[in-house]
Amino acid sequence: MRIGVFGGSFDPPHNGHLAICILACEILGLDRLLVSVSRNPFKSPSDAPDDHRLLMAGLLVTEINRSSPVATLDARELEQPGPSYTVDMLRRLRLEYPADELFLIVGEDSYRDMPDWMESSMIPQFCTVVVFARRDCGATGGGVRSHELIPARFVDFDIPVSATGVRDLLAKKEPVAHLLPRAIAGYIEANGLYR
Ligand code: ATP
């Protein structure tokens, strides 16, 4: 089996996340995609509580499955006490799926930060890292390839949307419908999030 792992704080999930997941399923030929909701250690009061992030990530999974019915929600990072590290999740998945191919799917900004992650040099032992370009994250062309600690596959990608941008627009009561799956925009509205 070919298994993808896509982690994020999903605060909220947006069309960038949706497009990455759909594209990853297609180009990597995934049989499963785990959408893992992470803790946000830098949480501010304007961010959504964990239970809302989890439910919104569930709506993202439903949207992905309309196109590629392989996605499942993984809440284990949120459920375990204490900090959660990507390397621990990959170690656990490697034990669960000893004979399968694992792909860690990240955006360019995450990949750039990866050398600072806990035990990041171990990550390539557990999976293939797949990096989606992110032109709105301040990286200069090709800059993403500048660290050689963690080899990766690169996917050209250009959907300039971020959760921070969505939250900012919502706080200003500006339209966001073009940036989010409809069900997630409806959920945010119904629950009065990010106001
Ligand atoms: P924030 O603005 O709060 O930092 P975000 O938009 O980066 O949020 P996350 O949930 O932190 O959303 O992202 C999960 C993963 O998706 C990360 O690896 C991130 O780099 C990647 N990602 C999110 N949006 C994009 C995008 N538009 N293009 C490429 N990668 C993206």
| Per-residue pLDDT, 98 | 95
Average pLDDT over residues 99-106: 98
Residue 189 lies in a domain: no
Residues ≥6 apart with Cβ < 8 Å to 42: none
Task: State the DSSP code for 192.
Answer: T
Residue 182 lies in a domain: no
The response to whether residue 47 sits with its C-beta less than 6 Å from ligand 1 reads no
Residue 168 lies in a domain: no
- Rounded Cα–Cα distance for residues 12 and 188 (Å): 8
Which range has the worst mean pLDDT, 88-97, 138-147, 149-158?
A: 138-147
Residue 32 lies in a domain: yes
Chain centre to alpha carbon of residue 49: 17
Start-to-end Cα distance in the chain: 42
Q: Which residue out of 9, 35, 53 has the highest number of ligand 1 atoms within 8 Å of its CB and is therefore the one to mutate?
A: 9
- Rounded Cα–Cα distance for residues 160 and 9 (Å): 17
pTM: 0.94
CB 33 within 8 Å of CB 64? yes
Residue 142 lies in a domain: yes
CATH classification of the domain holding 15: 3.40.50.620
Mean pLDDT, the chain, integer = 92
| Per-residue pLDDT, 82 | 82
Q: Which pair of tokens denotes residue 36? A: 């893992």
Task: State the DSSP code for 54.
Answer: H
Q: Is the pLDDT of residue 171 over 80?
A: yes
Number of domains making up the chain: 1
Which range has the worst mean pLDDT, 20-24, 28-32, 44-48, 84-88?
A: 44-48
Residue 111 lies in a domain: yes
CB 127 within 8 Å of CB 5? yes
Residue 78 lies in a domain: yes
Range of the domain at 149: 2-162
160 Cα–ligand 1 center, Å: 10
Residue 156 lies in a domain: yes
The percent of residues in the chain predicted with pLDDT above 70, rounded, is 90
